[in-house]
Structure 1
Amino acid sequence: MPPKPVLAISHKVALSVGGIIRYRIKLLPSQAKNIDKLQFRIRNSAPIYRNITPSSGPWKIAVALVRNPDKLPVVPELVPSIGCAQVCRLDASVENDTTGQDGDGCNEWELEVLSEMILQHNWIDVKVEVYVVPRTDSPAPLVANSTDNTNDNNSRAEGTDADVPPHILLPAVLSCNYKDTRAICGPARPEDISRAGDEEGLHLVLLTHGIHGSWLDMLYIKEQIDAHNKGNGKTITFLTDTNHAGTEEGIQMAGQRNGQVIATLNKDNNYERLSTSSRASKTKTSAATTTATTSTKAFPRGISKVSIIGHSLGGLINVYALGFIEELTQGAFFKTIQPTHFITLATPLLGVGFEHPWVLGYALSLGVIGQTGKDLALENRTSRLRRSASSATFVSTSSSSIPTNHSTTAPGIAIECTLDKDPEPLLLAMARPGSASNRVLRQFVDRTSYANIENDMAVKFNTSSMMGIPSFDMDHFFSPEGAASQPKKSIYHSAVVSILALLLPQIPPRAKFLGIADAPSPVVIVDHVAAGSVEKADGTFAFQDAFTTAQDNDKESKKNKKNKKAGSVKSTTSNRSSSRSISGSEPSSQSSSRSTSPSSSSDVSAKSRLDLALLVSEGYHTGMDWTKIGVFIEHEAHVQIIVRRKWYNLDGWKCVQDLAERFDFS
């Protein structure tokens, strides 16, 4: 009769938005001859009815089990979806080799459990158990040193952050190193960034997730940056998540919340006085007060540089946050802390709708995903919106191991931002030369945009690259002589692939994990694009057509003839050498609006989405250069480019590695 499994480790825990837990479990070498295998059992203890409440879920967890995680190559066992009231079991055999030392890790595992797509601040109760199965010829039976004390005193109460470590019943057999969400993703609060002592020259790197995301989406980038900079002791990575479950409220509100977190990095700041003096500066007696408060150093001691990284909508949230911080601190923040790297990944910098079928832009303009959809569709803003979004409240972060829900914060001081007072589309207002966001963006040492060339349904190439990359010929890339490993797909094919990848995540094959070191980099093209505009004597800006050549004009003429037959519209932009055909983008209004320069009129109410996108592109190329990086990922690329989930989004590993190695975060 085979021996019965003996419970060795038991743990009850609750996961919320962006929740992740990790167990580093090691079998003691002296026990290798006595143990046949380990059994890992993970139960989603949420009630079964939660499976039918997708508006507050989905209530699923994902599991990854990695043997010898410190040895390469690594091939994990993955369970992408465990629904409510379901149990997952993974068996791991024990290597009967006692020749190694205690630290060789031949019988060591890392178990990772994480929450999947929890849209609201709810909790999933999880129970993790590890059993050991002794060998039939084991000299002595295994006996736990205590009873199974796994009742409520070994669990986190629902809705609280009181965490309890795992209960180890066989400490003479297994050791366990446990990390919760805060230990993995932290620091969880801005004030935790402050370092003790007088250390100077710290580089703060802030990472912002996109729509319907959480800080867990940016964890892999954080870990890679930390790994590449662990020797300098100067890099601090901080995952911002004040906008979870609030990304549909508009870029203004999300950007203000993000900006407050960045600007109030030190709990002993003086921004309350700054905001007061900002309003008082409109009077004649405020000059002395303003000078006194802006000279006060209200920032964390030791931080001298800041870099900002945003994925998808997070990139636009960061752009707005720059202008908000500039006005909130009256320019003091970026005079004290050097803006270094500004990086976007698959960010719709020019909005969406002009590259997609017209029905998508129409749906967004109706508010399918709230005010954020209207912002992305480049809709004009109403006075009601400006009133509701022109003030924000300070976010009072808590000591919770999860992000603070912005909807539960107490009211604070109303801060007006100039960007909120303009009725034109927000993306255009932020890009305008002279806006607070544009001014700060120009102060960065470098600006870089990573753009998916193909397989990104959510954010197409022209908007994430700001109308293309001059030195990149997409037609040649997808031609038989080009470097593309697959033919160009239709937008409808990309949509189906994206939806299936979201609902039914695929497990990468074993061969891909084994061959990842030899796989080619997804980075196809890197081009430094000089500033496309110059300032004229009268202080205005003129957009320079720095990309068009006679050869490009000939190629564009041929493309336009072909697209006319297909009912498409081609972007005749300043960087038309890399712009593709754009279908279903209101052709009737484009021909008339392009007869004049896009910047010749301040009235944008009658312009098409394409012409508005050209104006936004003009603003971002005015007085600032960019490094544009084209990325080609064979499968669904929008989340692969940031490796949203470490083991499932394997195709994006080398893209993140490129980011971590390309930039100096020391």
Structure 2
Amino acid sequence: MPSAMTRKPASKEGLLLISESRHLGVGDISRYKITIDKAILSEQDVDVDELFIKIKNNENALLNPVYITGPYSFYCDIRPDNYNEDKPFAGKEIIPFVENLKPNEKFKSTLLFNEYSNIKGTTSYSWTIDVISQLAVLTFPKLQYTIKVGTSRRSTRMRSRGRKIDALEGIKVEEWDTISLWNLSPKYPTKPVHLVIITHGIFSNVGCDMLYVKDKIEEITLGMDESINPNIIIRGCMDNMGKSARGVHYIGRRVGKYVVKIIDELNTKYKVDKISFIGHSLGGPTQAMAVHYITMKRPDLFDPVTGVKPINFITLASPFVGVIGDYPLYISLPLDMGSLGLTGRDLNLRYTPLQSKDGLYIDDPKYQNQENSKLIMELLPQPPVRQIFEQFIHRTVYANVVHDGIVPLRTAALLYLDWNSLNAVKKIQRKSMIQAETTENRDTELDSPESNISSVTPSREGSVREIPKDDLDKKAAVQWAMPQALIHTRKNRKFERAQITETSSDSESDATPPSGNQNISDEKFVAPKEASTILSALSVLTAPMPTQEYIKNPSLRTDAIVHDRVYHPDDLPEPHYNDRSTISRVLYPNENVNRIQERIARTWQETMDWRKVLVSIQPDSHNNIIVRRRFVNLYGNVAINHLVNEHFGIKACEKYAKL
């Protein structure tokens, strides 16, 4: 006979299945996976078709307007078992999420037992729930929330204090906190391990902000055949939260020490065989400094015979050559004065004396001239570290072509690009736009593209045709695309200097207009629209949320890879700032800055191939490119999808397995 407990669904109160409170600080997350076997519940005379969930921010409502030192809120989302960002979700139900669960607010939703939550081939149903702290700057506050799940709305009332959980068979609740999520074991403990180090940007953190890329890498590699499975372990240094303003050397050295420590620890249980680095924004220079530090302090870790094999060095919207050339004076001047501490001065290409030199230089006569490079951004790729960067199988940069005033295109793409190729693409986009406006079905291409990612081969041949016209909406095409030739106006010269040298194959495929009878160099050049730094910062607060249709139907998304090409050292043009006259240095106030930026960019590229991937995504693109929050920033999924498939997909892992 059923116990009294199992008869409670007949009462108005219902059953309380989960009830707990947690405290989260900066970079903290709680993840729950609820799995319910409906057949087992039925055996206990419990018959339910839906569950009710309520999450409350228990902080005082007076903290609502305090945003700069907070925000004191949570991001929450709920995903049924069969939801995948890259696949159509046909269910009529919404995918519930809340961008900012503010102090004293509640987030309520319903978990439905249907085909979308059903674990195929079983009588079980499952949902994943993420509760993420939105704290960004201060490291000492702890925010409290309460989560309750029950069989009725009444059972989840937050005021039902002292009520005990109704323990039933067939209900499984798994929970991960930040530490457990970021310390998962490899799938095959006895096989060599591929360690992936993920590094966050300024005012950011690894635990929450970089979680999406971690999830996607694990998702694609977990089910691979053992013969090619990379046996991934993903880790991130959490020691720099709240310390982003202390300089690239300081935070990069800490990441370097962390990497050395984690490799030594993992090697006591496993064999770390390969290593990859992924960095967002400031995380790019930070991880470069980490590689620099390791090379100086523990060169044995990168030993070609006994050390780890460098596989991927990937950055997303990272300011490799600083930001001074792209920021207006009212932004760059405060950076000089220390508004972002030493980091601001580093990115503004200013030298700050009396800093620690730990891990910067090596005591070797062959490299005695390296101390002439005082700027940290210029020092990062200098020998002998350059030889380590050259060993990476893939060096890839992702850059936003629009809406990113935080890290503009030029610095994120290492200055040099095939602007003429982008110029030709704009002509294709213009032509298709005009044709579309004269037809009744002008929006058909936008409504049903087959894919957001261009089917490109990252080589120098055919780069114009790397960018499919179907993937960009008309507004985006006008915003990002580079127009025709380069004329000598003050505003446009920086793009002229950064035009790569065209080989014969480049000229034929990239620079020739579709009509084949017009010379690009004869046409007027108009500089690409530059995003506002202020508006980019405000877009964190004002950017539109993705609609449910966008979330559930990938075919409606217009975000796209607009350029994907491997650039080679012989693509570089001749240095522009060699042997410049003294009068030029006097007449042109930016002469010195431009010379330094050119020198840094060339040092990174003179001996190495770089794959440069340009993406067109909606505001706020700087956070979207890393999908900082799963649904709020889903516009950047096209970039993460490309990164994961190209660097951790089956073809890539087949290559790594042979190393």
TM-score, structure 2 normalization: 0.70
Residues 230-270 of structure 1 show CA distances to partners (whole Å, capped at 9, x for unaligned) of: 2215222222222111111000000100000111225569x
**Deviation per residue, 1:171-196 (Å, 9 max, x gap):** 25744232222232325xxxx78986
Distance 2:261 2:115 in 1: 54
1:475 and 1:621 map into 2 onto residues whose CA distance is 23
Residue type matched to 1:220 in 2?
Y
d(CA) in 2 for partners of 1:9, 1:100 = 21
What is the CA-CA distance between 1:358 and the residue it aligns to? Answer: 2.6
Aligned equivalent of 2:411: 463
**Is 1:113–2:122 an aligned residue pair?**
no
Range with greater deviation from structure 2 (38-47 or 207-216): 38-47
Q: What residue in structure 2 maps to residue 205 of structure 1?
A: 196
1:648-659 alignment runs, 5 A limit: 648-659=632-643
- Greater mean deviation of Cα atoms: 368-377 or 419-428: 419-428
CA contact (8 A) 1:471 1:527 kept: no
What is the rounded CA distance, in whole Å, between the counterparts of 1:56 and 1:97 in structure 2?
A: 39
Matched residue type, 1:623: T
CA 454–299 in structure 1, closer or farther in 2 if over 3 Å, else same: farther
Residue deviations 1:464-508 (CA, integer Å, cap 9, x gap): 111132265444545623755213289686546533431256431
Q: How far is 1:206 from its partner?
A: 1.0
CA distances 1:545-597 after superposition (whole Å, capped 9, x unpaired):
27x9xxxxxxxxxxxxxxxxxxxxxxx789xxxxxxxxxxxxx999824999x
Match of 2:236 among 239, 252, 258: 239
8 A contact 2:479–2:529 mirrored in 1: no
Alignment CA distance shift 1:96-1:148 (3 Å): farther
Q: Please, which moves more after superposition, 306-315 or 627-636?
A: 627-636
Q: Return the offset for 1:347.
A: 0.6
CA–CA distance in structure 1, aligned partners of residues 126 and 582 of structure 2: 62
Task: Output the amino acid matched with 1:227.
Answer: E
Does the alignment pair 1:512 with 2:530?
Answer: no
Of residues 73, 76, 79, the one that matches 2:98 is: 79
Residue 459 (structure 1) shift: 0.7
Q: How far apart are residue 301 of structure 1 and its match?
A: 4.7
The aligned residue for residue 379 of structure 2 is 429
Residue correspondence of structure 1 range 190-589 to structure 2 within 5 A: 199-215=190-206, 216-230=208-222, 231=224, 232=229, 234-266=231-263, 301-335=270-304, 336-382=307-353, 384=354, 386=355, 389-391=356-358, 424-432=374-382, 434=383, 436-470=384-418, 473-478=421-426, 480-481=430-431, 483=469, 484-485=472-473, 486=475, 487-488=478-479, 494-495=532-533, 498-504=536-542, 506-517=544-555, 519=557, 522-532=560-570, 545=573
Residue 460 (structure 1) shift: 0.8
Structure 1: which amino acid aligns with 2:205? S
CA distance in 1, matches of 2:133, 2:238: 15
Runs of 5+ unmatched residues, structure 2: 1-9, 433-468, 481-527
SS at match of 1:431: coil
Match of 2:174 in 1: 177
C-alpha spacing 1:125/1:420, structure 2 compared with 1 (3 Å):
farther
Match of 1:584 in 2: none
- Partners of 1:525 and 1:184 lie apart in 2 by 34
Contact 2:402 2:531 in 1 (8 A): no
Map of 2:515 onto structure 1? none
* Residue equivalent to 2:107: 88
Contact 2:566/2:610 (<8 A) preserved: yes
Q: What is the letter of the counterpart of residue 29 of structure 1?
A: K
* Partner of residue 46, structure 1: 59
| Cα separation, 1, equivalents of 2:317 and 2:117 | 49
**Pairs within 5 Å for 1:144-163:** none
CA shift for structure 1 position 96: 11
Show the counterpart of 2:28. Answer: 19
> SS of 2:540's equivalent?
helix
Unaligned runs of 5+ in 1: 136-141, 151-166, 270-297, 393-414, 534-543, 549-571, 575-587, 597-604
The residue type equivalent to 2:53 in the other structure is F
- Give the whole-Å Cα distance in 1 for the aligned partners of 2:177 and 2:479: 43
Q: Which runs of structure 2 are paired with 1:123-134 in the superposition (5 Å)?
A: 123-133=142-152
How far apart in 1 are the matches of 2:555 and 2:411?
A: 31
Q: Note closer, same or farther for the CA distance 1:97–1:366 as it changes in structure 2 (3 Å cut).
A: closer
Structure-1 separation of matches of 2:129 and 2:232: 27
Q: What is the rounded CA distance, in whole Å, between the counterparts of 2:13 and 2:265 in structure 1?
A: 58
Tell me the alpha carbon deviations over residues 509-550 of structure 1, each in whole angstroms, 9 at most, x when there is no partner: 1111232156466212111111249xxxxxxxxxx527x9xx
Shift of residue 333, structure 1, vs aligned partner: 3.5
Cα separation, partners in 2 of 1:217 and 1:418, compared to 1, 3 Å: farther
Residues 401, 616 of structure 2: 8 Å contact kept: yes
SS in 2 for 1:462: helix
Aligned-pair CA distance for 1:446: 2.7
CA gap of 1:391–1:118, structure 2 versus 1, over 3 A, is same
Quote the Cα distance in structure 2 between the aligned partners of 1:351 and 1:202: 34
Contact 2:263–2:272 (CA<8 Å) still a contact in 1? no
Deviates more, 1:57-66 or 1:480-489: 480-489
Whether the 8 Å CA contact 1:3–1:134 is kept in 2: the answer is no
Match of 1:634 in 2: 618
Deviation string 1:142-196 (CA, Å, 9 cap, x unpaired) is: 99xxx9657xxxxxxxxxxxxxxxx842425744232222232325xxxx78986
Q: State the 1:103 CA deviation.
A: 2.6
Identity %: 21
Cα RMSD over matched residues?
4.1
CA contact (8 A) 1:195 1:301 kept: no
Residues 195, 55 of structure 1: CA spacing in aligned structure 2 closer, same or farther, 3 A cutoff?
Answer: farther
1-structure distance, mates of 2:582, 2:547: 47
For the residues of structure 2 that align with 1:48 and 1:461, how far apart are their CA atoms?
40
User: Does structure 2 retain, via aligned residues, the 8 Å contact 1:76–1:647?
Assistant: no
